[in-house]
Structure 1
Amino acid sequence: MLRFPGHGRPGPDDIVIGPLDLPGHVDEALAVQALAFGLGPDEVAVRRQIVLRHMTLPGARAYGATVRGRLAGFVYGMPNDRAHWWSTVVEPYLRAQGHDDWLDGSFVITELHVHPRHQKHGIGRALITTITDGAAEPRSILSAIDIESPARHLYRSLGYRDLARQVHFPSAPRPYAVMGAPLPLLRGRPAADSR
């Protein structure tokens, strides 16, 4: 477990990063995601089933960040499999850019979200580096909304680069970018980020 002091000394405001029983905390995690990502109740209901299904897949794992015992952020992912729905959607875009080999030997970051009240404190950076540090795969991939955002800045600072842009997922109103990075992720001075 990692601890981030809230005010310079260990105390109740410390941020604790550790393994998360995501199926057991799915509603709490999705409440964080709904606030961070602007999801409505119908979208949350759909994502709840997706998360629960994903966590049954081989190698799937999750980490959470807690403050005062409450979930402030979470990340989950798994070794990528070309048969997974996400891979089947992004594969043609990656192939068109000559990057479809990234679908093999990669750990995919499925979701990373931090409650808005706890953003810009390095929680997203700590979550993603913690989960990827435990990956057996030599690289990581993810998708993010294809706009210049604090999230994309965070990913770039960790070594992720664009592999494909303007990727359209069914029912997603905005296009995404697929990004990839060699593991371990780059380290440096934690910058203020939104995750």
Structure 2
Amino acid sequence: MLRIPGHGHREPDDIVIGPLDLSARVDDALAVQAVAFGLGADEVAVRRQIVLRHMTHPGARALGATTADGRLAGFVYGMPNDRTHWWSTVVEPYLRAQGLDFWLDHAFVITELHVHPRYQNRGVGRSLITAITDTATEPRSILSAIDTESPARGLYRSLGYEDLARRVLFPSAPKPYAVMGAPLPLLRRQPGH
């Protein structure tokens, strides 16, 4: 368990990072994702089935960021990559075109990472992703993020993720994505930074 101190009287004090039974709290997690990512009810319903299916994969695990009163402030989940998984089959041609498809082997995929906007910019996302990748036995991590210069992309870069492929198009996704990869363990901030 990791505690992130609260910021004054704005919110309940500490946020605790720890194991999350994502199957049991899928609706809480998707409520966070819906606010953080701007999802509608139809998208949430589709993603609910995807999350529940993902959590049956070998090695899939999740962490949550929970407030003092038990609310989910953020979550992350991932699993060892398998080239037969849908995500991997979509990104593989883009990585192969760059000569980087080896990143799909022996990699831990960050499937989703979302923090409720009320709790962003407090180190919650950084704590979630470093905690989950610290438990990975794979030598590297990969993920996809919307291909814009966003706070999320900045966070990933600060952890050592680099762009492996850009302008990756997922079926039904309105915006292109970037696939990013980093050696594990992820970089840590130096004191004073």
What's the TM-score once normalised by structure 2's chain length? 0.95
**Structure 1 residues 163, 191: closer, same or farther in 2, change over 3 A?**
farther
Question: What residue number does 2:102 align with?
Answer: 101
For residues 113-168 of structure 1, the C-alpha deviation after alignment (integer angstroms, 9 at most, x for no partner) is 00010000000000000000000000000000000000000000000000000000
Output the CA distance in 2 between the equivalents of 1:23 and 1:131: 17
Output the CA distance in 2 between the equivalents of 1:14 and 1:61: 23
Output the CA distance in 2 between the equivalents of 1:185 and 1:3: 19
Please state how far the C-alpha of 1:4 moved relative to its aligned partner: 1.4
Asked if the contact 2:22/2:55 (under 8 Å) is kept, the reply is yes
Output the CA distance in 1 between the equivalents of 2:103 and 2:190: 27
Please state how far the C-alpha of 1:5 moved relative to its aligned partner: 1.8
Question: What residue number does 2:62 align with?
Answer: 62
For residues 150-194 of structure 1, the C-alpha deviation after alignment (integer angstroms, 9 at most, x for no partner) is 0000000000000000000000000000000000000015999xx
* Match runs of 1:153-168 below 5 Å: 153-168=154-169
Output the CA distance in 2 between the equivalents of 1:191 and 1:108: 30
**Structure 1 residues 190, 156: closer, same or farther in 2, change over 3 A?**
farther
Is 1:147 matched with 2:148?
Answer: yes
* Match runs of 1:25-44 below 5 Å: 25-44=25-44
- For residue 182 of structure 2, give the secondary structure of its aligned residue in structure 1: strand
Is 1:74 matched with 2:75?
Answer: yes
**Structure 1 residues 167, 7: closer, same or farther in 2, change over 3 A?**
closer
Runs of at least 5 residues in structure 1 that lack an aligned partner in the other structure: none
Output the CA distance in 2 between the equivalents of 1:7 and 1:97: 43
Q: How many residues were matched structurally?
A: 190
Question: What residue number does 1:4 align with?
Answer: 4
Output the CA distance in 2 between the equivalents of 1:141 and 1:161: 9
Q: Return 63-72 or 73-82, whichever deviates more.
A: 63-72
Runs ≥4 residues deviating over 6 A: none
1:18 counterpart letter in structure 2 = G
Q: CA RMSD in A?
A: 1.7
Asked if the contact 1:109/1:141 (under 8 Å) is kept, the reply is yes
- For residue 95 of structure 1, give the secondary structure of its aligned residue in structure 2: helix
1:34 counterpart letter in structure 2 = A
For residues 70-109 of structure 1, the C-alpha deviation after alignment (integer angstroms, 9 at most, x for no partner) is 1000000000000000000000000001100000000000
Is 1:175 matched with 2:163?
Answer: no
1:15 counterpart letter in structure 2 = I
Runs of at least 5 residues in structure 2 that lack an aligned partner in the other structure: none
- For residue 25 of structure 2, give the secondary structure of its aligned residue in structure 1: helix
1:122 counterpart letter in structure 2 = G
Asked if the contact 1:125/1:190 (under 8 Å) is kept, the reply is no
Identity over the aligned pairs, expressed in percent? 82
Is 1:113 matched with 2:114?
Answer: yes
**Structure 1 residues 143, 7: closer, same or farther in 2, change over 3 A?**
closer
For residues 24-65 of structure 1, the C-alpha deviation after alignment (integer angstroms, 9 at most, x for no partner) is 000000000000000000000000000000000000000000
What's the TM-score once normalised by structure 1's chain length? 0.94
1:169 counterpart letter in structure 2 = F
